[in-house]
């Protein structure tokens, strides 16, 4: 993977923007980078303490959503971390394996460029909401399966899953209570073949091999249809010996990652604490 240009700010207050090319298709993948250590002002003030690095995958239902959707939460977390939001490809033209590979390569890019972003490459986490939470969980699995400190140097410290889409069967009580959901169309586009739903990287909730994964923070909302599958996944992680923190927020309208949500500040506080101490 290569940096395809100098890192630039989209505005005087906005994030840095950059991109990398995937190793297989040489596809350009956009990135939005948030963090105090990346600002021009902090560079003038001399050396600063390196911040943890969070690779964030935006929400949506595999077929919708945009990287800019993560701006609010990424900006809010940038006081305690450098956040790299990934403009990953959506379902429809790409297979789920292609999409997860892009997500994993984004993690590798972020690690390789951590120092230049003012981040600590030894304190790296993945995070995401809805479909992005699925990708964060999948990348944590891929990192466990492929990486060791001696092969790449990357050592994930945690995974942050915010109302994640984890179960294509959509059989949980909270999902059934909702009735028809946009999740159904999203899963159908992401996993067009029935056999795809058996792959643990596609359906983390169905995986029977969860041992060895990094500590997880699982965040849900009382009125969210994805609540039960997320909390059931947390229980499975705990049974596999993975340290897990679970936080369910009260029923409110809107998405937890939206800055206008009533619980947004509490969500940010919870995530910041986890970034500092995932164990």
Question: For 14-41, how does the pLDDT look when each residue is reduced to its tens digit (9 = 90+)?
Answer: 699 999 999 988 899 999 999 965 444 4
Whether 143 is in a domain gets the answer yes
Whether 2 is in a domain gets the answer no
Whether 3 is in a domain gets the answer no
Domain CATH number, residue 100: 3.40.50.1820
Confidence of residue 220 (pLDDT cuts 50, 70, 90): very high
Q: What integer pLDDT is reported at residue 37 of this predicted model? A: 52
Comparing CA positions, the residue from 33, 34, 80, 133 lying closest to residue 275 is 80
Q: What integer pLDDT is reported at residue 100 of this predicted model? A: 97
Whether 123 is in a domain gets the answer yes
pTM, whole model, 2 decimals? 0.91
DSSP state of 94: B
Residue 166 lies in domain: 8-276
Residue 43 has pLDDT above 80, yes or no: no
- In the block, which residue shows the tokens 């490459």? 121
Confidence of residue 7 (pLDDT cuts 50, 70, 90): very low
113-138 pLDDT tens trace: 999 999 999 999 999 999 999 999 99
Whether 1 is in a domain gets the answer no
Whether 80 is in a domain gets the answer yes
Instruction: Give the CA distances from residue 248 to residues 27, 54, 224, in Å, rounded to whole numbers and listed in that order.
Output: 38, 22, 10
Structurally, the chain folds into a number of domains equal to 1
Whether 73 is in a domain gets the answer yes
Residue 49 neighbours by CB distance under 10 Å: 8
Handedness of CA 62, 65, 70, 72 (dihedral sign): negative
Q: What integer pLDDT is reported at residue 279 of this predicted model? A: 82
Confidence of residue 47 (pLDDT cuts 50, 70, 90): low
Which phi and psi angles does 184 have, rounded to 5°?
-60, -45
Tokens of 182: 């946009």
Distance CA 176, CA 171 (A): 6
Q: What is the number of alpha carbons within 13 Å of residue 105 lying toward its C-beta?
A: 25
Confidence of residue 180 (pLDDT cuts 50, 70, 90): confident
Tokens of 187: 């899963």
Whether 161 is in a domain gets the answer yes
Q: What integer pLDDT is reported at residue 153 of this predicted model? A: 65
Cβ-contact 278, 158 below 8 angstroms: yes
Distance CA 98, CA 106 (A): 12
Tokens of 146: 């492929």
- Percent of the chain whose predicted confidence (pLDDT) is above 90: 77
Please, what is the average pLDDT of the chain?
A: 89
């Amino acid at each position: 993977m290569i940096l395809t240009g100098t890192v630039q700010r989209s505005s005087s207050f906005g994030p840095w923007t950059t991109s990398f090319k995937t190793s297989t298709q040489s596809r350009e993948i956009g990135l939005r980078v948030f963090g105090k250590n990346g600002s021009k002002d902090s560079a003038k003030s001399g050396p600063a303490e390196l911040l943890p690095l969070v690779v964030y995958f935006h929400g949506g239902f595999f077929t919708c959503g945009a990287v800019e959707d993560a701006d609010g939460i990424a900006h809010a977390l940038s006081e305690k971390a450098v956040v790299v939001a990934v403009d990953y490809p959506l379902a429809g033209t790409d297979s789920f394996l292609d999409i997860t590979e892009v997500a994993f390569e984004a993690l590798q890019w972020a690690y390789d460029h951590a120092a230049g972003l003012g981040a600590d490459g030894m304190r790296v986490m993945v995070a995401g909401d809805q479909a992005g939470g699925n990708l964060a969980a999948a990348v944590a699995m891929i990192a466990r399966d492929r990486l060791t400190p001696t092969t790449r140097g990357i050592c994930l410290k945690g995974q942050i899953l915010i109302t994640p889409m984890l179960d294509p069967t959509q059989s949980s009580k909270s999902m059934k209570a909702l009735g028809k959901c946009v999740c159904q169309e999203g899963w159908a586009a992401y996993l067009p073949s029935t056999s795809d739903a058996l792959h643990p990287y596609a359906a983390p909730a169905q995986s029977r091999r969860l041992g060895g994964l990094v500590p997880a923070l699982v965040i849900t909302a009382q009125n969210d249809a994805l609540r039960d599958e997320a909390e059931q996944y947390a229980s499975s992680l705990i049974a596999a010996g993975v340290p897990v923190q679970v936080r369910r927020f009260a029923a409110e309208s809107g998405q937890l990652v939206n800055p206008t949500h009533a619980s947004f500040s509490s969500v940010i506080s919870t995530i910041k604490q986890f970034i500092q101490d995932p164990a």
